[in-house]
Structure 1
């Protein structure tokens, strides 16, 4: 057998959108060298010539029985097939390589760069997997490259092999970006940057530019167009200067740049860059269609409608030629853009035609059931519902909304990352809003089941992550998960949280790499867990929501529930008690939004004029509550808030010059389904664990440089509570974070009289302070790793309920974090509170609880007592009493020492009575 003794060295990696490999060769014969040089010469520009020289090399290699040369030929050919999008040829090449590598390993002397060539083969398989939407196999092939990189000393890697490893990170990022998992994609791109900077390579600028290109694409998808423009124009300018011959890359970068400038309404810049690719528009390259798609969008923005349909038709013609009759998401997305244009011009029948054509490319028996196809299908169902809405076809809208909702349920488990899952939910809001508008139309027409449909959509739009967290706990308990597996998951979660906290304090590449590896391993662990334990998976991702009938059955006779949806054009609400249900729509405009924001500003400032505040509160009552409470009027009211309504303490709204709290005990929850889960959790312990840490004034912690001033009334506050609930009071230095972590799971009532600091940039790094040092801070992220059994957690702290507003999830706050950790109900605050008034309110709150009152009633009565005692002074301002809210399961605390004594006294009297009666007889 002839051994290929001289090697091909891979110097540069150049492929398609995100892969690149080119090489020069020193071949055994002049003939082979000539063929390889011709193959490289035409690989970007002429597919027929590439095929010709590939076949010459294959014939030569077979005649020479040269396995090594065969492998190199197929590897280089792979790069050309990707450039010209020839998936059939790539698949055939990979099958040939599947059979050649075992021969190379077993029957011939393995050539010097064997591992580099084999990793290039794994990479090509991954790209093929991605293009055919088999992301699971793509990840397996890329992981083989990463595994080799981890175990191989850097000194043994060639410059081109390092480039191959780096580009594999970019491929993984591209895969996650396609899948709408943007945070994961950025993690892999940041890993690519660190990898590039840690290696001695001659192509650093080129490799970093690849990261810029992909980050620009991701930020465009995230609609952060300024950041997208920064990265994309940086990448484009580099390509124009150094790599203009890579026409696919150039036209793709111009397309993204034009899109960004269109979103920013900078039309001159969009026109300028579009002209850069006009000469490429009709050439036989895979991305030529993007010129026509971009021009259509630009003309649409400029209201030049004459050629738009022609441009879309031309783009689709080039796309169909590119994919040669295959069903493809790229075609579906272009059809969707075309349909959007037709919708904007009221051509609904034509829009529906393009929408239907798009759907055939991402669903059906002959289409791969991949996540990217499902995500695109979801968007198309959104669009289809919008068209039906414009045509006043309410039943069709509802049908499409149900279908889109079912699809959303199948997609959510795929998103392991909280940030990406929230983005998915936020982008889905228009589906629910259209569905609610359609159900409202049917409701006004007295159609059967309209209010049931509305309540279903309301529930589906709310608190996905929080509900999933509670279901996850249930799944671990009932899903037959071995304890050692649960412990392993806890270790992963704690390690991730600790590394993130360290990075939050100080940026460090070593920690970043450690965090990257741990998160990657954790995702693999979760995939294995969910595949192996089906009961666990089914329980954790149970997509069922509660129904109106179930809620009505479980509501107490004196209780009503009011669920809101805060949309773009309207606020929808359903109110129900045991016997009645009503559905209302409130028109939403800028004036109402400004009124809500003004009220939140007024009520959170004790210096606000109270007459002006009450006037605004009365107007908001008329708009937000009167349409519902005029129909259903029960003294206990559970409110499911949404959007800006999360910031409003409804008990401070005014009717007939009386605050709502004077007539209603109000509580809050994210969704009725979540409340049902919380009510299924029972804690029999009602022992108290209370904290009043010491703060020393003008000392700044190292994390946020935030002054933590003394809280002089916090100790009195927990001592007052201790009159009604016995337990463990931790004061000053004893009230440490370590004490909290050690003891919290053993107590049914947890009271924290301390500072809370909110992090606007990253809400998960908001924290409760147990002292002035960085080590004394309990972050929201820490709460995800705790396992509490608390019936009630009270956060008597500044701003404990305020958080970053995400649609459908309520406030991402410390209070919400305690639900993740296992609390059944939470008393928290909506703004910075007064230390002294807090102590008074909390004392009365716990006193009322100890008498067996429900939590909502106990807090209402505490507020009323406070208002009565301060009716003639400045403390009557609602700033002082309405910040505290109660959320979750509001059932009474089942047993208290107060009532034990009362019961004991009654039993004693009964016993004495019996004995006295016997004595008389």
Structure 2
């Protein structure tokens, strides 16, 4: 049972029982009706009546009725936490035949939930997959057994929350609401509010969760255990928000409800003890807190292995011991906590960890392993503590990879990676400490691996999936997956472009419903594809990187630890790792100051970012500047606030305006793995360039785009004029035109408007000419495109390189969306600079690219030429006007290097010139 501040069992079973009654109410006799009416107050009598119903139904050949009665009987055992007996009774209905589809659905859905409570994930998936398949082929079941299907989606959502699949949980809960939209009651409303409250609490949106918990308590007024569980959720949320002054009134009411319930309230009482322990811990009364936590553990042991209360209590006791500097005691409790969350693990030795699949709840085991590794890192006097901490983190991250393999939504994966960041950062610190203790190839490899784990893990998986051959996958399944992806992309686009102000309520509901259904269909297809995927063998990225680096190149990887910044410098024949002399707070402050000064337009003010740029240079590059002597090209993997920063604006301080740009060309990589794995090949001939400027409009079309909320970009036509090739402006630069032309081009240049969404990266878009409502190309649509043939994409639209920061994933920008579709290198804009200066930079860029230079060097030279063309201290010399364009991905040439003309071409040219000269002489003679 998942009782993280909420009691799930009660409402799941209320819905199950309501569903079983509603599904066949017309065929149920008075015995079944009476049993369903009394099963909570008189369970023994209800079981006797259900037995009579089944006997009569079998005698009369009404097997459908008998199976439904077995589900009812199983519900009685389920309500009383006898999940094993409930499973046995429910399974007895499976051999009965013939059965209506609605009855088979109820059996499968119920058994999935019962195995969920028994922590049997394989059996859970088996039965829920069958229930899901039945809904797919018989969608009418949603109408015929509406309440039961709604309960199924509620249970699926709860299981998804427990496994950390938050996007899937949200969609399941929304699906349940859609099914019950016209059949709601105050109790059902409270259920929905409770479900979403837990969901938002897990996301860390505590204010939203608090309001939903409060509403659920307001809607459910019956003074019973159900209300007690709702109150507990509100108590936990308030404690998490540290609003301890408001919890006592809820605690007192919950205590009364527990006392009133007698032995049935034991589990709620145990969780309430934990809430009281948290309360006294926040009041700094650790002795009283420890008493309540210990009491909850004792209750959990009496309740048995189906409850998480014991695990939670032991985790709290471990934390209490840690606060009192008792590391040994903390390790003892954490070992016991892992035992409580395991089927077979019983080791007391801190050197031992459970097997990867030996858990009752995966996220709980992950939390246990990370806390244990933290304790081992702190156990300075314990032999091999660093090695044990490292091994424990290995197990934790392997478990996380196992859990995340089932997540179909990128947003869930990104959110989980965000939650993993603190663990990654401490794991890097542990690996570095072990490397300092014993600097050799093994510890260096472990350190680099740990840094890489926290860098763009989701993007790395996306790119590997793009390059993976699904050997043995049936053709029909690949078609199903593609159909599901297309449907989901279309649904997301319709949702993003919904017109709330002018659409009817029914229209908005239909759009929302289609998005929910499309995401569920995509998840179903994704799960079917999983057995055909295999883990990619880990390559020696360090060796491959050093082979790829030229002598004048260096690879810099920054990794935040819990209290410092780690820098790894890789050159052709040298590696150096060091902790930089800057704290997290100092890094945030300096990076923000430099970013602000670079982003803002200084005109008519003077640029004032020099001091901060020099200070940040001294902290993040100064300690290794001597090692970078002779280096002319840098590849940088950033972390934390450095993601917002163009390193080109940092200043060495050796002379005025001595920007890093003057010393090195810079490429920003997402991770070492993505940089190393990116295909590299010499350009085969000059590329075909597709350039589009949708908002380079004349006066006749200006009004149209303004009505759509856009402004003209007057210099964008001049910008795209820099590159020879296919050019489209105004109405010719439509989304349809782009989609039809890009497969035949190798370079893309889009000078347009764009938006980077900070809430959902899939909602970010590039705007084309707004001749209709579907003129935006969204990031989720880019995922359907194959851009592996594109050599370079230039996105000079506003803020295409910015977006929300997701830890090691970096900025979820449109440039990242292009990378996810296979585009190896993207020049993108961090802010909206002057369009005239961008046009000039683009012209200079293509001049440099045409000479066959690598893209990073071409961009550097274009910027330097631009600065040189400004008079001393000119209006456009500050970084705001040139530092906004940055290169993401790789840095390979786009054009071939121009060479001497081949002999054959020279001979042909000479022959042609002689022929022309002879013809001219002939014409002159004739004219005489």
Structures share fold, TM-score greater than 0.5: yes
Looking at structure 2, the residues matched to 78 and 590 of structure 1 have their Cα atoms a distance apart, in angstroms, of 57
Contact 2:35 2:45 (8 Å CA) reproduced = no
Aligned to 1:875: 876
Change (3 A) 1:115 1:745: closer
Equivalences for residues 55-134 of structure 1 within 5 A: 55=48, 58=51, 66=59, 74-99=70-95, 101-102=96-97, 105=98, 119-131=105-117, 132-134=119-121
How much does 1:488 deviate?
4.5
Aligned with residue 441 of structure 1, among 389, 414, 433: 433
**Greater CA drift, 402-411 or 265-274:** 402-411
2:415 matches 1:423:
yes
Aligned to 1:838: 838
2:490 matches 1:503:
no
Aligned with residue 139 of structure 2, among 135, 150, 172: 150
| Per-residue CA distance 1:580-628 (angstroms, 9 max, x = gap) | 2122223424343122112111101121765630111000101111123
| Per-residue CA distance 1:611-661 (angstroms, 9 max, x = gap) | 630111000101111123333432111000122111111011000231001
Looking at structure 2, the residues matched to 356 and 703 of structure 1 have their Cα atoms a distance apart, in angstroms, of 64
How much does 1:226 deviate?
0.6
2:309 matches 1:312:
no
How much does 1:706 deviate?
7.1
Aligned with residue 636 of structure 1, among 633, 638, 641: 633
Equivalences for residues 679-718 of structure 1 within 5 A: 679-680=679-680, 684=684, 686-696=687-697, 707-718=709-720
Contact 1:682 1:791 (8 Å CA) reproduced = no
How much does 1:572 deviate?
1.8
Q: Secondary structure at the match of 2:120?
A: coil
Aligned to 1:551: 545
Looking at structure 2, the residues matched to 550 and 743 of structure 1 have their Cα atoms a distance apart, in angstroms, of 36
| Per-residue CA distance 1:13-53 (angstroms, 9 max, x = gap) | x96242215579999xxxx9789857854x446xxx63466
Structure 2 residues not aligned, in runs of 5+: 1-7, 346-354, 501-507, 912-928
Change (3 A) 1:260 1:782: same
Contact 1:856 1:890 (8 Å CA) reproduced = yes
Equivalences for residues 653-672 of structure 1 within 5 A: 653-655=650-652, 656-657=654-655, 658-672=658-672
Contact 2:688 2:746 (8 Å CA) reproduced = yes
Change (3 A) 1:603 1:51: same
**Greater CA drift, 283-292 or 542-551:** 542-551
Aligned to 1:177: 161
Change (3 A) 1:797 1:894: same
Looking at structure 2, the residues matched to 842 and 694 of structure 1 have their Cα atoms a distance apart, in angstroms, of 17
Looking at structure 1, the residues matched to 530 and 621 of structure 2 have their Cα atoms a distance apart, in angstroms, of 44
Looking at structure 2, the residues matched to 487 and 544 of structure 1 have their Cα atoms a distance apart, in angstroms, of 30
| Per-residue CA distance 1:467-498 (angstroms, 9 max, x = gap) | 2222112114x735567755553333222112
Change (3 A) 1:152 1:250: closer
| Per-residue CA distance 1:812-855 (angstroms, 9 max, x = gap) | 11111111222111111111121111121111211111112111
Looking at structure 1, the residues matched to 726 and 543 of structure 2 have their Cα atoms a distance apart, in angstroms, of 43
How much does 1:298 deviate?
1.0
Equivalences for residues 414-813 of structure 1 within 5 A: 414-448=406-440, 449-476=442-469, 479=471, 486=478, 488-506=480-498, 508-531=508-531, 534=532, 537-538=533-534, 541-542=535-536, 544=538, 546-586=540-580, 587-607=582-602, 610=606, 612-633=608-629, 634-655=631-652, 656-657=654-655, 658-680=658-680, 684=684, 686-696=687-697, 707-722=709-724, 727-773=725-771, 774-788=773-787, 789-813=789-813
Looking at structure 2, the residues matched to 468 and 796 of structure 1 have their Cα atoms a distance apart, in angstroms, of 27
How much does 1:409 deviate?
2.4
Contact 1:209 1:235 (8 Å CA) reproduced = yes
How much does 1:801 deviate?
0.5
Contact 2:718 2:839 (8 Å CA) reproduced = yes
Looking at structure 2, the residues matched to 434 and 310 of structure 1 have their Cα atoms a distance apart, in angstroms, of 31
| Per-residue CA distance 1:741-766 (angstroms, 9 max, x = gap) | 01112211111122222333433222
Contact 1:122 1:144 (8 Å CA) reproduced = no
2:208 matches 1:227:
yes
Looking at structure 2, the residues matched to 394 and 700 of structure 1 have their Cα atoms a distance apart, in angstroms, of 65
Looking at structure 1, the residues matched to 682 and 308 of structure 2 have their Cα atoms a distance apart, in angstroms, of 48
Equivalences for residues 201-280 of structure 1 within 5 A: 201=183, 203-239=184-220, 241=221, 243-245=222-224, 247=225, 249-280=226-257
| Per-residue CA distance 1:511-543 (angstroms, 9 max, x = gap) | 222333333222222222332xx3xx11xx537
Q: Secondary structure at the match of 2:906?
A: helix
Q: Secondary structure at the match of 2:551?
A: coil
Looking at structure 1, the residues matched to 490 and 21 of structure 2 have their Cα atoms a distance apart, in angstroms, of 49
Contact 1:854 1:893 (8 Å CA) reproduced = yes
Change (3 A) 1:317 1:39: farther
How much does 1:330 deviate?
4.8
Looking at structure 1, the residues matched to 366 and 706 of structure 2 have their Cα atoms a distance apart, in angstroms, of 41
Aligned to 1:4: none
Aligned to 1:7: none
Looking at structure 2, the residues matched to 338 and 255 of structure 1 have their Cα atoms a distance apart, in angstroms, of 20
2:861 matches 1:861:
yes
How much does 1:870 deviate?
0.8
Aligned with residue 358 of structure 1, among 337, 341, 355: 337
How much does 1:269 deviate?
1.4
| Per-residue CA distance 1:521-573 (angstroms, 9 max, x = gap) | 22222222332xx3xx11xx537365323322321111100011234432222
Q: Secondary structure at the match of 2:635?
A: strand
Q: CA RMSD in A?
A: 3.3
**Greater CA drift, 81-90 or 684-693:** 684-693
Contact 2:270 2:295 (8 Å CA) reproduced = yes
Looking at structure 2, the residues matched to 707 and 300 of structure 1 have their Cα atoms a distance apart, in angstroms, of 53
Looking at structure 2, the residues matched to 39 and 905 of structure 1 have their Cα atoms a distance apart, in angstroms, of 95
| Per-residue CA distance 1:393-421 (angstroms, 9 max, x = gap) | 32222221222222222222111111111
How much does 1:576 deviate?
1.1
Aligned to 1:337: 316
Aligned to 2:818: 818
How much does 1:138 deviate?
4.2
Change (3 A) 1:386 1:701: farther
- Normalised by the length of structure 2, the TM-score is 0.85
How much does 1:258 deviate?
1.1
| Per-residue CA distance 1:178-233 (angstroms, 9 max, x = gap) | 22111111112112222212x4x4x5332222111111111111111111111112
Looking at structure 2, the residues matched to 543 and 668 of structure 1 have their Cα atoms a distance apart, in angstroms, of 25
- Normalised by the length of structure 1, the TM-score is 0.86
Aligned to 1:386: 374
Aligned to 2:914: none
| Per-residue CA distance 1:680-706 (angstroms, 9 max, x = gap) | 577646221111223459999999987
**Greater CA drift, 478-487 or 711-720:** 478-487
How much does 1:128 deviate?
0.7
Q: Secondary structure at the match of 1:794?
A: strand
Looking at structure 2, the residues matched to 840 and 489 of structure 1 have their Cα atoms a distance apart, in angstroms, of 45
Q: Secondary structure at the match of 2:728?
A: strand
Looking at structure 2, the residues matched to 630 and 116 of structure 1 have their Cα atoms a distance apart, in angstroms, of 74
Q: Secondary structure at the match of 1:18?
A: helix
Residues paired across the two proteins, number? 854
Looking at structure 2, the residues matched to 253 and 768 of structure 1 have their Cα atoms a distance apart, in angstroms, of 44
**Greater CA drift, 599-608 or 517-526:** 517-526
Contact 2:189 2:216 (8 Å CA) reproduced = no
How much does 1:259 deviate?
1.4
Change (3 A) 1:543 1:593: farther
Looking at structure 2, the residues matched to 795 and 299 of structure 1 have their Cα atoms a distance apart, in angstroms, of 55
Change (3 A) 1:637 1:351: same
Looking at structure 1, the residues matched to 453 and 140 of structure 2 have their Cα atoms a distance apart, in angstroms, of 46
Aligned to 2:926: none
Looking at structure 2, the residues matched to 120 and 484 of structure 1 have their Cα atoms a distance apart, in angstroms, of 29
Looking at structure 1, the residues matched to 882 and 489 of structure 2 have their Cα atoms a distance apart, in angstroms, of 35
